[in-house]
Amino acid sequence: MSLLKEFDQRDPVEIGEQLHRFAAELYPICRSITGDGVRQTLAQINRRIPVQITEVPSGTAAFDWTVPREWNIRDAYIKDPAGKRVVDFQRSNLHVLNYSTPVRATLPLSELRKHLFTLPEHPDWIPYRTAYYKDAWGFCLPHNQMLALADGNYEVCIDSSLQDGHLTYGECYIPGSSADEVLISTHVCHPSLANDNLSGLTVATALAELLSGRDLRYSYRFLFIPGTIGAITWLARNRENVGRIRHGLVLTGIGDPGGFHYKKSRRGNAEVDQAAAHVLRHQDESWEILDFSPYGYDERQYCSPGFNLPVGCLMRSVWGTFPEYHTSADNLDFIRPKHMAASLRICTALVDVLENNRRYRNLSPYCEPQLGKRGLHRSSGGDVIGEEINARLWVLNFSDGDNSLLDITERSGLPFCTIKEAAELLCQGGLLATLPDVSERDTSKEDSDASSEVRGMPRARGIGARR
Amino acid sequence: MSLLKEFDQRDPVEIGEQLHRFAAELYPICRSITGDGVRQTLAQINRRIPVQITEVPSGTAAFDWTVPREWNIRDAYIKDPAGKRVVDFQRSNLHVLNYSTPVRATLPLSELRKHLFTLPEHPDWIPYRTAYYKDAWGFCLPHNQMLALADGNYEVCIDSSLQDGHLTYGECYIPGSSADEVLISTHVCHPSLANDNLSGLTVATALAELLSGRDLRYSYRFLFIPGTIGAITWLARNRENVGRIRHGLVLTGIGDPGGFHYKKSRRGNAEVDQAAAHVLRHQDESWEILDFSPYGYDERQYCSPGFNLPVGCLMRSVWGTFPEYHTSADNLDFIRPKHMAASLRICTALVDVLENNRRYRNLSPYCEPQLGKRGLHRSSGGDVIGEEINARLWVLNFSDGDNSLLDITERSGLPFCTIKEAAELLCQGGLLATLPDVSERDTSKEDSDASSEVRGMPRARGIGARR
Amino acid sequence: MSLLKEFDQRDPVEIGEQLHRFAAELYPICRSITGDGVRQTLAQINRRIPVQITEVPSGTAAFDWTVPREWNIRDAYIKDPAGKRVVDFQRSNLHVLNYSTPVRATLPLSELRKHLFTLPEHPDWIPYRTAYYKDAWGFCLPHNQMLALADGNYEVCIDSSLQDGHLTYGECYIPGSSADEVLISTHVCHPSLANDNLSGLTVATALAELLSGRDLRYSYRFLFIPGTIGAITWLARNRENVGRIRHGLVLTGIGDPGGFHYKKSRRGNAEVDQAAAHVLRHQDESWEILDFSPYGYDERQYCSPGFNLPVGCLMRSVWGTFPEYHTSADNLDFIRPKHMAASLRICTALVDVLENNRRYRNLSPYCEPQLGKRGLHRSSGGDVIGEEINARLWVLNFSDGDNSLLDITERSGLPFCTIKEAAELLCQGGLLATLPDVSERDTSKEDSDASSEVRGMPRARGIGARR
């Protein structure tokens, strides 16, 4: 049975609640681009799917970048002149400027203000701010709260550390028949923000669970990585292996009530772009296809011109376009079980298309084959033929080696599953033969040194030892 | 003079009436995919144009198909319990399920009903149904009549035969300067249905009459064939020769009052597709261009991926989209002389374009030639130039070897005949030279074994002996 | 500083008035396709920019054409029966059919009328008519005036000469770093018509002034030539050199209040076409891009199929579409200083784009380079990035050798200057390298015999001696 059909037999309410419960588990952890928050998050994921952890030392070069010092934080607060904790990291980890250097000082309000970040347009929300690659400390708080601060001396404490350590990322590899890979990448570096990106993390984890132990055409690699520096580091360490990535998807911000947005790969006409457009066209929520642009999430790195990988990005509301973005309002109420479940369904449908999108050759290309004598056509002479017979004619006519099932789907306007079932039936009837994967044919040169590539590519399962 | 201009000097009312009279002659004949109905029809056509008949024995293989047993019918009826012929083949040959096995029996109404076909949504019409490749018998009748049948025992008789014989088709070949061919294909297998396809048959016949004895660039092959099995059989017998088909058209359902529909060839950008679009754009009735789809008429076979011939399909109302389709309401009132005449005009215009669409080379390609000194330009300095001078400039500028006159027509927005006349005048003026046909240049390999091809291709005229 | 930014710092009112004053100086001169009117016009231009004059003898062959006899005129009039000059060349040179043969005669009104040209639909305007390549004489006058002429004998005098002489044209060559050229062509053959083409002449002259003495990438060749025969003669004499023309523009009718029209080169996708579309998209007036057609101004010759040069045409109102076209109403009131200034601005913007449109290579193509450590990115983690940083990401991502800055401009939707500044900054930052001009790479064969080409191409400055 197809992955999607199987998915659709499950209870979507339960799926959504499981996803949301997992997001709620991960919500309190204070994540950043390095540090124990990422490790705790990966450990939680590893309870559900086997995650191999990689630890890359601070100072390691990754293309134009360098792995930074590791950041960890235990506590942080501002005490008002009366000694009361008015801003408290224990209540929300967003209160601390992420990657703040440690500080312990007492200073007048006028000085303190230089270190405070607020959102005047949403005066009750805490903004999310970072200070990567910059020695700075600060606090984020609601604008109204800041306005209410009385003059006087404030005690500030950020009990953080910023020192040589590691950058941590996790991979879950699910092997398929082919060494060709589908890459699913999702960032794990944001603290208590639900849509950005516990939604991506939890859906990716659930998708990996769903694919585990199945007969798959492709191998699947799930990356749980810090944004930007994590993707860059992974690419630097796997530069020789990326030729195996046939399709890729960045998952982010897919738990909110907004319609779907799929941002195309830099190539613009990759199979994953075509497949995503098809899947979105055949579901009920609103959707939009966006052209590639070089700003956004880690597709920026996968689609940098040196790599130019066929990697798109699936979102619901686009980052920066909704008020909750990068604020404390992106919380567990902002993401909804039913939207998370629907996002997982889209991912499942996309995988289903990628798994089944092949090219076939019509073995009886001169005139139509006689479907009737094979029981593949009605023979009573009705006026109209059914969609399923029509699909067989489409598949036969366009299976000339050039057109994939997705191509035929687009020309015919029929759903992919109808076209796919027609192809399977015609194969069984001896009228159609599967062609070898284009990807495998086209990459013979890459395959020729596949042995050396295998070395760099982690295939082992389970949580790895920290070096 | 151009074919179209000559056509336009004739009286369209008379043309329409002639076409309709011929359709009325052919209307009563009970045609099927084999049998004497087809032979009688071809004999009538042969009175107007020379038709070479081919008889292919039952059991002959044609690609994936086999020529079926031949079907003939003399009489058929249902007698009610009172012995009255309530359903009578002599009144309408649609009453019999086409290709019914012979039957002679008496059976109660409840049993009889299993063999009756009606159209509840049009309760006074007889549906048209077939039972090809299936041992079955049945009757078609108005739904109201069926409802009125009283209980009792009914005598049924179908005096048909279904036995080894032949499949019959006819060809009319009109030779031109080139062995390259234009194929006009029309199906002859439907019984008393006027639009589907006496309209196609009569227009094709009239077009062949109109082309006979003229100096033509292309040779024209008119096929009068049973749908599906006829086209497949013809292709199987002429497989080596189809490379000669430069352009093709299936004619069907072109007598009703609906606007024109041209369904493009599978190639989608064949010259016949371009020419048909041009011709439809420059006439008064509504029209629409449809993309190729693998369901429809015999373009399905000509455009099967092994052949992929440049064959489109001209219709008025599209099959299956109008209520009269495949019912007794598709009768001689449904087709109208003026619509048949206008359809013939479209075909004539299309042939006119194909005959004249050539590529030329500007012999004076550096700057404009001085048209004035050749009397090809006004020299008095008026403000605006006429369309005919403008056409000369278009032809000169774009006759670089790449663009055909149709291409120039499309870029300029001018009518084809204006562009063609400009090209002729410029040729006479020594400013333009005709380029060899692309078709002839591109098919040198096919031409190299033209001698063997000729053998398979009937060129003789007149009705052939039945074997 | 960019040419456009510098231009925008000047006072547009003053620029417009200077252009209009120059047009007013040139307005009274009676120009034609040959003769002293052209020489006087070129001499006036030469006071502002160095113009090299070429004189080509009557009878010289130029492709399909021959340089005609030279036409000069001193006086012309019609005297009514009372001896009063009712039509007087001294009041408007449009009164004489341009290129009229000399005549001196007395004839009755009925005979005279055969030589009179009027505009019934604008009865108070004098039409502009010519009689090139045709022995004829005539007068043009307001229709109302003609109607008022009383019967009687009229004395007509056209004191013109039509004899062997020369065709005259001027060139202003402004050398740049590359021998590759931008051609700006404008016709100088119309008498007292302001928009057609004193607007083109004056804007071209001002553009040449603006470019003189600057460091330029391309060399610029301004042609001040009689329409048609002038362009044809120039092409005939420079046939071997036209390969150097990388971009070209015909300037005509750019002083009236109409919106801009840019007519694309025959190629349709030349860089100048892309640049003009960009420039028009980023200015305030209405504009339209027109497909190439083989009728119009001298782009007809530059874009004849033998040359097919990348030459477009910039107009405001399109010739023939406004009532003042080729009448005495196309006078100094019809063109407006502010529109002339805005047209010069468009030309400047276009040159600015052409000068700066290059291809670059991202030297750090694997992942994004770390802009922050180079001060090229904000590092405080705000929500939105500025347009200038976004431009850097666009330039980096698409500088893969295929895309020019204009291509990147189109994909990003950002203004060209923002993209260009991003590229310059990235070059300074060592992240980007300029690629050699495509033009220079692609024309190696043409360059190989560049030495012989140089001979035919005038590079000297200043007004040449008349032979």
Within 8 A of A98 by CB-CB distance, chain C residues are 381
Query: What is the Cα–Cα distance from B114 to B134, expressed in whole angstroms?
Result: 16
SS3 annotation, chain B: CCHHHHHHCCCHHHHHHHHHHHHHHHCCCCCCCCCHHHHHHHHHHHCCCCCEEEEEECCCEECCEECCCEEEEEEEEEECCCCCEEEECCCCHHHECECCCCEEEEEEHHHHHHHEECCCCCCCCCECCECCCCCCCCEECCHHHHHHCCCCEEEEEEEEEEECCEEEEEEEEECCCCCCEEEEEEECCCCCCHHHHHHHHHHHHHHHHHHCCCCCCCEEEEEEECCCHHHHHHHHHCCCCHHHEEEEEEECCCCCCCCEEEECCCCCCCHHHHHHHHHHHCCCCCEEEECCCCCCCCHHHHCCCCCCCCEEEEECCCCCCCCCCCECCCCCCCCCHHHHHHHHHHHHHHHHHHHHCCEEEECCCCCCCCCHHHCCCCCCCCCCCCHHHHHHHHHHHHCEEEEEHHHHHHHHCCCHHHHHHHHHHHHHCCCEEECCCHHHHHCHHHHHCHHHHHHHCCCCCCCCCCC
Query: Could you read off the pLDDT of A32-64 as tens digits, one per residue?
Result: 999 999 999 999 999 999 999 999 999 999 999
Residue of C362, C364, C367 to mutate for A, most A C-beta atoms under 10 A: C367
Pick from C370, C393, C411: CB nearest A64: C370
Nearest to B188 by CA among B223, B225, B221: B225
Query: Could you read off the pLDDT of C141-157 as tens digits, one per residue?
Result: 999 999 999 999 999 99
User: What share of chain C in percent tops pLDDT 70?
Assistant: 92
Query: Could you read off the pLDDT of A114-168 as tens digits, one per residue?
Result: 999 999 999 999 999 999 988 999 999 999 999 999 999 999 999 999 999 999 9
pLDDT of residue A376: 85
pLDDT at B441 over 90: no
Pick from B131, B293, B305: CB nearest A400: B305
pLDDT at A444 over 60: no
pLDDT at B100 over 50: yes
pLDDT at C1 over 80: no
Burial class (CB in 10 A: 0-12, 13-18, 19+), B157: middle
| Contact predicate C67/C229, CB 8 Å | yes
Cβ density class A205-242: b for 16+ within 10 Å, e for less: bbbbebbeeeebbbbbbbbbbbbbbbbbbbbbbbeebb
Pairs of residues, one from chain A and one from chain B, whose beta carbons lie less than 8 Å apart: 82
Query: What is the Cα–Cα distance from B24 to B32, expressed in whole angstroms?
Result: 18
Pairs of residues, one from chain B and one from chain C, whose beta carbons lie less than 8 Å apart: 82
Pick from B63, B133, B325: CB nearest A366: B63
Pick from B362, B390, B398: CB nearest C295: B390
Residue of B63, B71, B232, B324 to mutate for A, most A C-beta atoms under 10 A: B63
Residue of C32, C63, C64 to mutate for B, most B C-beta atoms under 10 A: C64
Within 8 A of A373 by CB-CB distance, chain B residues are 133
The pair of structure tokens assigned to A307 is 């790599």
The pair of structure tokens assigned to C75 is 């006086």
For residues A268 and C456, which has the higher predicted lDDT (pLDDT)? Answer: A268
pLDDT of residue B378: 58
Pick from C130, C231, C301: CB nearest B381: C130
pLDDT of residue B349: 97
Half-sphere exposure for C226 (CA within 13 Å, toward CB) = 29
Q: Which residues contact A46 (CB under 8 A, 6 or more apart)?
A: A170, A462, A463
Pick from A367, A382, A393: CB nearest B63: A367
User: What share of chain A in percent tops pLDDT 90?
Assistant: 88
pLDDT of residue C385: 66
Query: What is the Cα–Cα distance from A350 to A357, expressed in whole angstroms?
Result: 10
Within 8 A of C412 by CB-CB distance, chain A residues are 293
Query: Could you read off the pLDDT of A190-229 as tens digits, one per residue?
Result: 999 999 999 999 999 999 999 999 999 999 999 999 999 9
Chain C neighbours (≥3 Cβ pairs under 8 A) are A, B
Hey, are the CB atoms on B367 and C325 less than 8 Å from each other? no
What is the complex's ipTM, to 2 decimals? 0.90
Output the average pLDDT for chain B: 92
Type and span of the H or E element at C391: helix C387-398
Output the average pLDDT for chain C: 92
| Contact predicate C194/C335, CB 8 Å | yes
pLDDT at B463 over 50: no
Hey, are the CB atoms on A300 and C368 less than 8 Å from each other? yes
Query: What is the Cα–Cα distance from A386 to A397, expressed in whole angstroms?
Result: 17
How confident is the model over A343-351, as a mean pLDDT?
98
Within 8 A of B412 by CB-CB distance, chain C residues are 293
- Nearest chain A residue (CA) to C403: A305
Pairs of residues, one from chain A and one from chain C, whose beta carbons lie less than 8 Å apart: 81
Query: What is the Cα–Cα distance from A14 to A347, expressed in whole angstroms?
Result: 17
Hey, are the CB atoms on B367 and C266 less than 8 Å from each other? no
pLDDT of residue A378: 58
Half-sphere exposure for C156 (CA within 13 Å, toward CB) = 26
Within 8 A of A326 by CB-CB distance, chain C residues are 383
Hey, are the CB atoms on A367 and B62 less than 8 Å from each other? yes
3-state SS assignment for residue C365: coil
Pick from C98, C236, C300: CB nearest B368: C300
pLDDT of residue C442: 46
3-state SS assignment for residue C8: helix
pLDDT at C441 over 50: no
Hey, are the CB atoms on A383 and B320 less than 8 Å from each other? yes
Within 8 A of C63 by CB-CB distance, chain B residues are 364, 366-367, 369
Q: Which residue has the tokens 């200043």?
A: C462
Neighbours of C188 (CB within 10 A): 29
Query: Could you read off the pLDDT of B300-345 as tens digits, one per residue?
Result: 999 999 999 999 999 999 999 999 999 999 999 999 999 999 999 9
pLDDT at C466 over 60: no
Nearest to A247 by CA among A169, A188, A198, A314: A314
Type and span of the H or E element at C396: helix C387-398
**Span of A375-379, B41-45, C79-83 with lowest mean pLDDT:** A375-379
pLDDT of residue B462: 41
Query: Could you read off the pLDDT of B379-415 as tens digits, one per residue?
Result: 334 445 688 889 999 999 999 999 999 999 999 999 9
| Contact predicate A27/A438, CB 8 Å | no
- Nearest chain A residue (CA) to B231: A367
How confident is the model over A175-182, as a mean pLDDT?
97
pLDDT at C379 over 80: no
End-to-end CA, chain B: 42
pLDDT at A387 over 90: no
Pick from C131, C300, C304: CB nearest B380: C131
Nearest to A238 by CA among A226, A250, A230: A230
How confident is the model over C192-203, as a mean pLDDT?
98
3-state SS assignment for residue A109: helix
Query: What is the Cα–Cα distance from C179 to C181, expressed in whole angstroms?
Result: 6
Hey, are the CB atoms on B98 and A365 less than 8 Å from each other? no
| Residue C43 C-alpha, separation from nearest chain A C-alpha, in angstroms | 54
Within 8 A of B370 by CB-CB distance, chain C residues are 64-65, 133
- Nearest chain B residue (CA) to A413: B293
Hey, are the CB atoms on A385 and B295 less than 8 Å from each other? yes
C-alpha pair distances (Å), A360 with each of A173, A178, A422, B300: 29, 18, 12, 19
Confidence of residue A438 (pLDDT cuts 50, 70, 90): low
Confidence of residue A390 (pLDDT cuts 50, 70, 90): very high
Within 8 A of B380 by CB-CB distance, chain C residues are 129, 131, 134, 136
Residue of B97, B129, B239, B295 to mutate for A, most A C-beta atoms under 10 A: B295
pLDDT of residue A403: 97
Hey, are the CB atoms on B325 and A383 less than 8 Å from each other? yes
| Residue C55 C-alpha, separation from nearest chain A C-alpha, in angstroms | 55
Query: Could you read off the pLDDT of C293-314 as tens digits, one per residue?
Result: 999 999 999 999 999 999 999 9
For residues A19 and A444, which has the higher predicted lDDT (pLDDT)? Answer: A19
Pick from C373, C382, C393: CB nearest A295: C393
| Contact predicate A168/A53, CB 8 Å | yes
In terms of average pLDDT, the best of A291-305, A385-399, B432-446 is: A291-305
pLDDT of residue B127: 98
How confident is the model over B2-24, as a mean pLDDT?
96
Output the average pLDDT for chain A: 92
pLDDT at C437 over 90: no
Confidence of residue C386 (pLDDT cuts 50, 70, 90): confident
| Residue C67 C-alpha, separation from nearest chain B C-alpha, in angstroms | 12
- Give the distance from CA A322 to its chain's centroid: 19
Within 8 A of B398 by CB-CB distance, chain C residues are 294, 305
- Nearest chain A residue (CA) to C372: A133
Confidence of residue C380 (pLDDT cuts 50, 70, 90): very low
| Residue B209 C-alpha, separation from nearest chain A C-alpha, in angstroms | 30
Chain B neighbours (≥3 Cβ pairs under 8 A) are A, C
pLDDT of residue C378: 58
pLDDT of residue A308: 97
pLDDT of residue A208: 98
Confidence of residue C387 (pLDDT cuts 50, 70, 90): confident
* Model pTM score: 0.89
Nearest to B330 by CA among B395, B246, B258: B258
For residues A73 and A385, which has the higher predicted lDDT (pLDDT)? Answer: A73
Beta bridge partners of C140: C117
pLDDT at C455 over 50: no
Chain A neighbours (≥3 Cβ pairs under 8 A) are B, C
Query: Could you read off the pLDDT of B142-167 as tens digits, one per residue?
Result: 999 999 999 999 999 999 999 999 99
3-state SS assignment for residue A425: helix
End-to-end CA, chain A: 42
Hey, are the CB atoms on C366 and A235 less than 8 Å from each other? yes
| Contact predicate A255/A314, CB 8 Å | no
| Residue A189 C-alpha, separation from nearest chain C C-alpha, in angstroms | 14
Residues on chain B bordering chain A, Cβ-to-Cβ distance under 8 angstroms:
62-65, 98, 129-134, 136, 228, 231-232, 235-236, 239, 266, 291, 293-295, 300-301, 303-308, 320, 325-326
Confidence of residue C81 (pLDDT cuts 50, 70, 90): very high
| Contact predicate A209/A143, CB 8 Å | no
How confident is the model over C394-402, as a mean pLDDT?
96
| Contact predicate A106/A186, CB 8 Å | no
Q: Which residue has the tokens 């002293």?
A: C36
How confident is the model over C98-103, as a mean pLDDT?
97
Nearest to B21 by CA among B48, B3, B2: B48
SS3 annotation, A58-76: CCCEECCEECCCEEEEEEE
Within 8 A of B133 by CB-CB distance, chain A residues are 370, 372-373, 379
pLDDT at C467 over 70: no
Within 8 A of A370 by CB-CB distance, chain B residues are 64-65, 133
How confident is the model over C175-190, as a mean pLDDT?
97
Residues belonging to chain B: 467
How confident is the model over B32-45, as a mean pLDDT?
98
Query: Could you read off the pLDDT of B57-94 as tens digits, one per residue?
Result: 999 999 999 999 999 999 999 999 999 999 999 999 99
How confident is the model over C438-450, as a mean pLDDT?
42
Query: What is the Cα–Cα distance from A55 to A58, expressed in whole angstroms?
Result: 9
Residue of B361, B362, B367 to mutate for C, most C C-beta atoms under 10 A: B367
